[in-house]
Structure 1
Amino acid sequence: MSTETFEFQVEARQLLQMVIHSIYSNKDVFLRELISNASDALDKLRLEALRDDSLGADVADLHIELEADQEARTLTVRDNGIGMSYDEVIQLIGTIARSGTAKFAQELKAAQDLDSAGGLIGQFGVGFYSSFMVADEVVLLTRRAGESQGTRWVSSGEGTYTLETVEDAPQGTSVTLVLRPADTEDQLHDYTSAWKIREIVKRYSDFITWPIRMAAAPATAPAAGSEGEEEGEAAAPREPETLNSMKALWARSRDEVSAEEYHELYKHISHDWIDPLETVRLQAEGTFEYQALLFIPSHAPHDLFTQGYQRGIQLYVKRVFVMDDCEELMPPYLRFVKGVVDAQDLSLNVSREILQQDRQIQLMRRRLAKKILSTVKELMAGSPERYTTFWREFGRVLKEGLLSDTDNRDAILAVSSFASTHDPEAPTTLKSYVERMKEGQEHVYYLTGESRKAIENSPHMEAFQAKGIEVLLLTDPVDEVWVEAVPAFEGKQLRSVAKGELDLDSEQEQEAEGEREQRQQQFAGLLTWMSDKLSEDVKEVRLSSRLTVSPACVVSDTHDATPALEAMYRAMGQELPPTKRILELNPGHPLVSGLNQAHTERAEDGRLAETAELLYGLALLADGGQLGEPARFVKLMASHLERAL
């Protein structure tokens, strides 16, 4: 087949230039990226060979080989792993075929410095393109295991690449970099130097489970007369040098592993560029043995809440890689956790269907979840700054567990923090809230909304602000759902300030006032009349104990869904039956008392009905709701303002 030339996609071409010129402040990492890709290819071949006896692949000596040629200025990274077909090269190498390319480019342009830019690289799978930071040309030669023909891909990173089919390609993949000259302004190191290659491999890839070998430089015969050599004697052949220890970090004792080694393993398996926030080790012994090395990242990936987010833990069986992104090992609300689990008694030919039903997997899943939650609790107690980082990045997803993991609900609540009216800067735990509760207060009060500012300005908050009663301010979409599923904390009911009837008066206030019944009778006629006039929109009109400033507000009945929750269900395609809300009036407001007096004097005045309609519309708007007929509301408001003038 003849050589064909292709153009990169527009976004891919732009991204290539940014990768080359903007992302990495330390260019050494290009070798780490290529070695990681090679390691993944070897893992995939081992697994494929276990599953398919007819593959016909050579798995006798799986390894990664590095070969440097100082004269030709080339560095080759070669593996005998799974390799790629012609179509796979087009999909995986010729284009940047992962979602989010445009978003990555936007975030990269917005990055203020190299450190923040470098933090984006692992999120988009573009590590292969880091080769162009140090190379004028990249040649990729690959043949997929089980196929007879290979593929050669060549590009200088300038916008095009060539592809051709070759007949004599070995199994696996080799990436040859035609390096730029050393000691130039943008190339400070000689990447054909043996000591530099050793340094990079030791620093970044020592934990790789496959041998990384450096091909020996051609040996030359010693000069005649050299000590210990007879004249004309040829130099002894030199063996390839293995550069990495290949020790699984999770199998080594804690004293043998440095923090830097843990961090490099995390970066290898997560494709992140930033050190993890916390490293978690777990070793289970007994009837079912396994080891786990888990990591809590320092930042949330951009696609954490997207449907295609790849979550899960790497699964090994007796140190043999079995599965990447094993979702069954970690519940969805902990999907940000990365790491490795190495089990002793599972079948190597395990499938995802078997994993879903395997009792041992389920036991591991529960144990790992408890370990992560206990680690977060330790962060909360011992390292408040790191806990604050954790909650800022992952609190929203962790709260999903309040719905899905009833066994660990108390543990999740214990490590959760919420904004509250107690402190505008620092969030609070439920435990701290309960400790601060006023004498006689029976409930933990909360209010959901789009933002803190919107909640603080809500009419529902007026009585609580006046009496100094703390309210949790819940602004995450998931808050609308979990508060319906969690009835109480440490015996204290969780209660929305926007639902049901509230009685915030102390016993002394109730005795001193003694006017409630009289006030109810005083407004009974207005309440009945308004309930009838607004019956298409509201379930009931009643007097309010939660308002001190606003004339009216709308509230949901105790067991009804909130409008925000109804909207969420509709967005998911689940239509709920329409629910009428309750209109509450502030009897101390001049507008309400004036309307009551006017109704007593001229109940049949048509303008009173319009005023009642306007009062309901104002309450609905103050709650963030939508008017049924905005044009009619505006017309009525303009008419009443005109009469007032």
Structure 2
Amino acid sequence: MSDRVETLEFQAEARQLLQLMVHSIYSNKDVFLRELISNASDALDKLRLESLVDKDLQVDTADLHIELEIDKDARTLTVRDNGIGMSRDEVVGLIGTIAKSGTAELLRTLRESKDAAASQELIGQFGVGFYATFMVADKVTLLTRRAGQSGGTRWESTGEGTYQVEAVDDAPQGTTVTLHLKPADAEDNLHDYTAEWTIREIVKRYSDFIAWPIRMTVDKPGEDGTTTREEQTLNSMKALWARSRDEVDEAEYKEFYRHVARDWADPLETIHMRGEGTFEYEALLFVPSHAPLDLFSPQGHRGVQLYVKRVFIMDDCDALMPNYLRFVKGVVDAHDLSLNISREILQQDRQIRAVRRRLVKKVLATLKDLSAEAYRTFWSEFGPVVKEGLLEDPDNTEALLDLVRAASTHDPAELTTLRDYVERMKDGQTEIYYATGENRATIENSPHLEAFRAKGYEVLILTDPVDEVWVERVGAYDGKTLRSVAKGQVDLETDEEKERAEAERQEYADLLSWMSGALTDSVKEVRLSTRLTTSPACVVGDAHDMTPTLEKMYRAMGQEVPQVKRILELNPTHPLVTGLRKAHEQGADQTALTETAELLYGMALLAEGGELADPSRFTRILADRLARSL
């Protein structure tokens, strides 16, 4: 073996992914060619960009293209480009290791999956890239030379855990990938990739929108029965986003989405728009039909791809799309930006900010116009993310509020809009009532809802963590204050009920004063409740207090927040409360009274899904009381 040849091992995760590819039962093996052509197209984009930015780079960009070559006798398929190429270090770094976000999660899920169909979907979802070649090839050879460098690199592997890297002197600029295809009669080789019609069909289906010519020398039958060899361009080369909407069919949109989003499913909605005037651009955006695995990951993909006059500039251009719309995929092609623009410059660019505003308004308007069925799918996948916009984007608060869907006590089976809630409000009702919590069952069984349910007031049921924050930040909708049923005083009473309540407050004044003192370490006040009908007690916050759930969220993020004492409300009609009042008036044992007060407070905490400060003391007191009652 030459001294210039090195044998190296794949990174551990790369080896695992290679094994999945080599032994995969994934039925759609055609994607390997799509991935190779996509890589070649990226290489051509990068060479074009670098040649424009670096005037000292001596390269020929007059005929940038992708070439496919079939050798039926040798059973090889070659994909060649004259793009940017790779250095030796780039070959080892890009092919020998995997740095793609979500790889570890993908491998874990695949290993745990017992369902072959699920495994196929996961592989398709991930976007297998260069490794997909080992689904159809016994050996892969790569020859590459980076533009501007004199020497090249040959890479070769059978996908069995190691690869060889060799320095070569005579490599042409760009990258050539040669697949030594598996035997034609192999059980897992469903297509003949040495057949011209097969390659032509795959290119048309997956890569017709590629902006660079994809060429192949094909057999052309003559009128006299002879056959000649002719080079043909297999793709249309017209960027999909540059066409008018009536020139593109749905199948083309779907295929482009799968390419740009690395997704296996169809998009939920397509947005094709053009901006004209002082700053021209074209945008082709997609709303996915399902949330990606990295939706809530800080390292997840953000934003859309940015092109300038069809020259690729960057992936994940977050300057064009706010974080709360990070699930939107697609391309924005600007006509008047500099090719060497940076992320930092983009954040400050006035024209980019204007484009961002237009894109956001178009996306929000499109979401609002989705069919009822499509919107249910969208909201179930992306609702919590959209509500982040109520914290981040004050300019679009009204549009975002119109998108909000929430469960409510009106209809257990359907979510409601805020507009529909307002239209159903009772005469004289001035506030939109809501309850927050970990899940719907806990909220619906909460004592906080008793009076609202009894009097027929609808309550929104909010269970996403972000709900705790946005309702406080927004404060109102359509002039109606958003009001928590678990905070502040509740005014649902008639004049007659208010008079009776005032009389009860006087009757209970001594008990309330005593209990406030007895429970001073736990509560800031004990008072009578107007929100309870069947439960003996509940715990509520002052109108501007932080909720317990929000306290937990901040502490989970490592932020110290002061402990907020809450208010214990008593139901003056409940036998346990009336009995406690009589016992207090009759001078009962103070220890027994204090323990009863503690039990009332503990039960109120548990009823709302809260946590006891001292569970062992609570259970001991409860056990003693139960034993005495037997």
After TM superposition, is the score higher than 0.5?
yes
Residues 138-187 of structure 1: CA deviation (Å, up to 9, x unaligned) = 22223333334333332222333333333333222222111123354322
- Are positions 1:597 and 2:588 aligned together? no
Deviates more, 1:562-571 or 1:325-334: 562-571
Tell me the residue number matched to 1:345. 336
Tell me the residue number matched to 1:357. 348
- Are positions 1:320 and 2:311 aligned together? yes
- Are positions 1:531 and 2:516 aligned together? yes
Residues 412-469 of structure 1: CA deviation (Å, up to 9, x unaligned) = 1112211112222221111111122223322211111111112112221222222332
Whole-Å separation in 2 of the counterparts to 1:314 and 1:138:
30
Tell me the residue number matched to 1:485. 473
Q: Secondary structure at the match of 2:508?
A: helix
Tell me the residue number matched to 1:458. 446
Residues 13-61 of structure 1: CA deviation (Å, up to 9, x unaligned) = 3333333444632222211111112112222222233333344444332
Following TM superposition, by how much is the alpha carbon of 1:556 offset from its aligned partner in structure 2, in angstroms?
A: 1.2
Whole-Å separation in 2 of the counterparts to 1:469 and 1:22:
57
1:27 to 17, 29, 47: 29
Tell me the residue number matched to 1:52. 54
Residues 209-232 of structure 1: CA deviation (Å, up to 9, x unaligned) = 111111457x99x9xxx9699xxx
1:105 to 107, 122, 131: 107
Change (3 A) 1:148 1:617: farther
Whole-Å separation in 1 of the counterparts to 2:436 and 2:134:
50
1:43 to 42, 45, 59: 45
1:173 to 160, 166, 175: 175
* Structure 1 segment 414-433 matched on structure 2, within 5 A: 414-433=402-421
| 8 A Cα contact 2:182 2:189, kept in partner | yes
Tell me the residue number matched to 1:232. none
Residues 114-139 of structure 1: CA deviation (Å, up to 9, x unaligned) = 66444433553422222122111222
* Structure 1 segment 397-412 matched on structure 2, within 5 A: 397-412=385-400
Tell me the residue number matched to 2:548. 563
Change (3 A) 1:551 1:130: same
Give the TM-score normalised by the residue count of structure 2: 0.94
Whole-Å separation in 1 of the counterparts to 2:99 and 2:344:
28
Whole-Å separation in 1 of the counterparts to 2:125 and 2:93:
18
Tell me the residue number matched to 1:547. 532
Whole-Å separation in 2 of the counterparts to 1:331 and 1:462:
40
Change (3 A) 1:407 1:372: same
Give the AA of the match of 2:172.
Answer: P
2:203 to 198, 201, 204: 201
Deviates more, 1:186-195 or 1:621-630: 621-630
Tell me the residue number matched to 1:518. 503
| 8 A Cα contact 2:13 2:97, kept in partner | no
Residues 310-341 of structure 1: CA deviation (Å, up to 9, x unaligned) = 21122222222222221101111111111111
| 8 A Cα contact 1:183 1:190, kept in partner | no
Whole-Å separation in 1 of the counterparts to 2:167 and 2:263:
34
Q: Secondary structure at the match of 1:369?
A: helix
Q: Secondary structure at the match of 2:295?
A: coil
Change (3 A) 1:22 1:444: farther
Whole-Å separation in 1 of the counterparts to 2:553 and 2:61:
52
Q: Secondary structure at the match of 1:53?
A: coil
| 8 A Cα contact 1:136 1:156, kept in partner | yes
Give the AA of the match of 1:441.
Answer: Q
| 8 A Cα contact 1:121 1:127, kept in partner | no
Change (3 A) 1:250 1:541: same
Tell me the residue number matched to 2:295. 304
Give the AA of the match of 2:38.
Answer: S
Tell me the residue number matched to 1:130. 132
| 8 A Cα contact 2:154 2:165, kept in partner | yes
| 8 A Cα contact 2:289 2:377, kept in partner | yes
| 8 A Cα contact 1:119 1:272, kept in partner | no
Q: Secondary structure at the match of 1:208?
A: coil
2:423 to 402, 420, 435: 435
Residues 228-253 of structure 1: CA deviation (Å, up to 9, x unaligned) = 99xxxxx98x5532111110112212
**Identity over aligned residues, as a percent?**
67
Whole-Å separation in 2 of the counterparts to 1:320 and 1:361:
17
Q: Secondary structure at the match of 2:415?
A: strand
Deviates more, 1:127-136 or 1:198-207: 127-136
Change (3 A) 1:152 1:639: farther
Following TM superposition, by how much is the alpha carbon of 1:393 offset from its aligned partner in structure 2, in angstroms?
A: 1.1
Following TM superposition, by how much is the alpha carbon of 1:644 offset from its aligned partner in structure 2, in angstroms?
A: 3.0
Whole-Å separation in 2 of the counterparts to 1:512 and 1:466:
14
* Structure 1 segment 46-445 matched on structure 2, within 5 A: 46-108=48-110, 116-121=118-123, 123-182=125-184, 184-215=186-217, 240-379=231-370, 383-445=371-433
Give the AA of the match of 1:465.
Answer: R
Tell me the residue number matched to 1:586. 571
- Are positions 1:634 and 2:625 aligned together? no
Whole-Å separation in 1 of the counterparts to 2:255 and 2:590:
78
Whole-Å separation in 2 of the counterparts to 1:297 and 1:642:
59
Change (3 A) 1:228 1:303: closer
Give the AA of the match of 1:575.
Answer: E
Tell me the residue number matched to 1:474. 462
* Structure 2: gaps of 5 or more residues: none
Following TM superposition, by how much is the alpha carbon of 1:192 offset from its aligned partner in structure 2, in angstroms?
A: 1.2
Whole-Å separation in 2 of the counterparts to 1:44 and 1:348:
11
Give the AA of the match of 2:619.
Answer: V
Change (3 A) 1:246 1:600: same
Give the AA of the match of 2:236.
Answer: S
Following TM superposition, by how much is the alpha carbon of 1:3 offset from its aligned partner in structure 2, in angstroms?
A: 3.3
Following TM superposition, by how much is the alpha carbon of 1:487 offset from its aligned partner in structure 2, in angstroms?
A: 1.3
Whole-Å separation in 2 of the counterparts to 1:171 and 1:326:
29
| 8 A Cα contact 1:317 1:348, kept in partner | yes
Whole-Å separation in 2 of the counterparts to 1:254 and 1:344:
19
- Are positions 1:501 and 2:481 aligned together? no
| 8 A Cα contact 2:443 2:608, kept in partner | no
| 8 A Cα contact 2:14 2:96, kept in partner | no
Q: Secondary structure at the match of 2:412?
A: strand
| 8 A Cα contact 1:142 1:173, kept in partner | yes
Q: Secondary structure at the match of 1:637?
A: helix
Residues 75-131 of structure 1: CA deviation (Å, up to 9, x unaligned) = 011222223333333332123332433321343356676664444335534222221
Deviates more, 1:201-210 or 1:182-191: 182-191
Tell me the residue number matched to 2:6. 4
Following TM superposition, by how much is the alpha carbon of 1:492 offset from its aligned partner in structure 2, in angstroms?
A: 1.5
Give the TM-score normalised by the residue count of structure 1: 0.92
Whole-Å separation in 2 of the counterparts to 1:625 and 1:54:
67
| 8 A Cα contact 1:422 1:470, kept in partner | yes
| 8 A Cα contact 2:25 2:188, kept in partner | no
Change (3 A) 1:19 1:454: farther
| 8 A Cα contact 1:96 1:126, kept in partner | no
Following TM superposition, by how much is the alpha carbon of 1:401 offset from its aligned partner in structure 2, in angstroms?
A: 0.6
Q: How many residues align?
A: 628
Tell me the residue number matched to 1:619. 604
| 8 A Cα contact 2:24 2:135, kept in partner | no
Over the aligned positions, Cα root-mean-square deviation in angstroms equals 2.5
Following TM superposition, by how much is the alpha carbon of 1:475 offset from its aligned partner in structure 2, in angstroms?
A: 1.0
| 8 A Cα contact 1:32 1:205, kept in partner | yes
Give the AA of the match of 1:67.
Answer: E
Give the AA of the match of 2:34.
Answer: R
Q: Secondary structure at the match of 2:486?
A: coil
Change (3 A) 1:155 1:500: same
Following TM superposition, by how much is the alpha carbon of 1:570 offset from its aligned partner in structure 2, in angstroms?
A: 2.3
